[in-house]
Structure 1
């Protein structure tokens, strides 16, 4: 039986110092129907080895983020539906939240020192593809920049999220169930709206001197935003929310 092994570049080589304590873990995925030149790999079983989270050896008991980076313990992905049906790995929703376990000393902008705006124990929501995943103390963690944190969760409901920096939380307008002519629309044919009401805004972005600039929108504004921007969430009552940067809001409607 032939075996093909392709190794992706190590995360530690790009993001972290390379030393004995960091051991990249791997995930094996079957190769099916790949071609290289005139050779078809579909006629035999192969394995694609992909670098996953960087694993920190047990002898290292602390991990201290530097600068404006934050270490987050990732919330475990849901393995079952509400009805109790087990989900395969491919169907499990990638978590976008976790708990802050450590943070750096902040960063300098101009002559001012800007401290991290989250604390140990804060429950946060972060951008979907942010950070570097690390296996540490037997749990999955993420090292990310503070700017990749969308907001702090005050309760278990996303509507109560406190946005950070230049982020804006918007309650998405309800989708129309019928066309103008009265035809009922299926879920597949309903167009995703790009209009909603601002629920909460962050303190604003930092200028070149490290001072906050006032947000361009306010709570209660009805806004038009970029169609494919931000991170989507569902509230406890089933309402749709989106968190995005204020710069991705295109207009205020009145």
Structure 2
């Protein structure tokens, strides 16, 4: 904190009848405050939420239907090369599968993992447990938390897994029915879109796949706050969600 010094000269007055002819023997400095500023030291506080695995452990084998994903590094620049502030950097939701478990049991049936080592996957935003393994950030999550496989670097090419569907979101209305322009804060979040791709379906009680009743090209109405939203390279909005979050097919 800054240190402050307060100095004020005192004046002695002899007699109270009149101040006329009063002269000070020396010039009295005005009351003043001198402030000396100390430099402020900034302390950078780094908080790591990930569990750090000791270097003596060189392998990590997921159990059951869990998979270990090496997290894709966070983008710190825009496509045009502009540096992003830390508040604008989105939490990563994609990575590469580096290890898989033995799969899961459904009744008496053992179901093999549906993702393989080396696959590029997109997962739910708040899924899994973060782990720092071999000095690299990883995520240990259930296979069911993976929403799709990404064979290119564009989200519009996402291949949904299990009972999930990929929907291209309909653009929000720019005007009211009377023709008035809407501000961005007044635009209602859309919940209508076109199905682009569907997953193979979930497993039934006997371990068999159940196909989805929705097909690509359908216009659907879905739950307003369901799923995970993404943007493609052309700035189009997409969402992945479970087929159970689709509430109606429109025609």
Q: TM-score, normalised by structure 2?
A: 0.79
Tell me which of 203, 211, 215 is aligned to 2:212.
Answer: 215
Q: Residues 143-222 of structure 1 correspond to what in structure 2 (within 5 A)?
A: 143-222=140-219
In 1, Cα distance between equivalents of 2:84 and 2:220? 36
Paired position in structure 1 for 2:137: 140
1:80 aligns with 2:70: no
Return the alpha-carbon distance in structure 2 between the equivalents of residues 242 and 201 of structure 1: 12
The answer for unaligned runs of 5 or more in structure 1 is 1-47
User: For this pair of structures, how many residues does the alignment match?
Assistant: 211
CA distance in 1, matches of 2:155, 2:245: 20
Aligned mates of 2:145, 2:242 — CA distance in 1: 11
SS at match of 1:72: strand
Which whole-Å deviations, capped at 9, do the CAs of 1:60-83 have from their partners, x for residues lacking one?
A: 111111110000000111122334
- Alpha-carbon distance in structure 1 between the residues aligned to 2:168 and 2:250: 14
SS in 1 for 2:209: coil
Alignment of 1:98-137 (within 5 A): 98-137=95-134
Rounded Cα–Cα distance in structure 2 between residues aligned with 1:238 and 1:80: 16
User: Could you tell me how far 1:138 is from its partner in structure 2?
Assistant: 1.0
Measured against aligned partners, the alpha-carbon deviations of 1:192-231 in whole angstroms (never above 9, x if no partner) come to: 1100010011111111111111212111111000000000
**Structure 2: which 5+ residue stretches go unaligned?**
1-44
Correspondence for 1:242 among 234, 239, 247: 239
Which has the higher mean CA deviation after the structures are superposed, 178-187 or 130-139?
Answer: 178-187
Deviation of 1:112 after TM superposition, in Å, equals: 1.3
Is 1:90 matched with 2:87?
Answer: yes
Q: What CA RMSD, in Å, does the superposition of the two structures yield over aligned residues? A: 2.1
Query: What displacement does 1:134 show?
Result: 0.1
2:63 corresponds to: 66
Relative to the length of structure 1, the TM-score reads 0.78
Distance in 2 between the 1:157 and 1:60 partners? 35
Greater Rg over alpha carbons, structure:
2
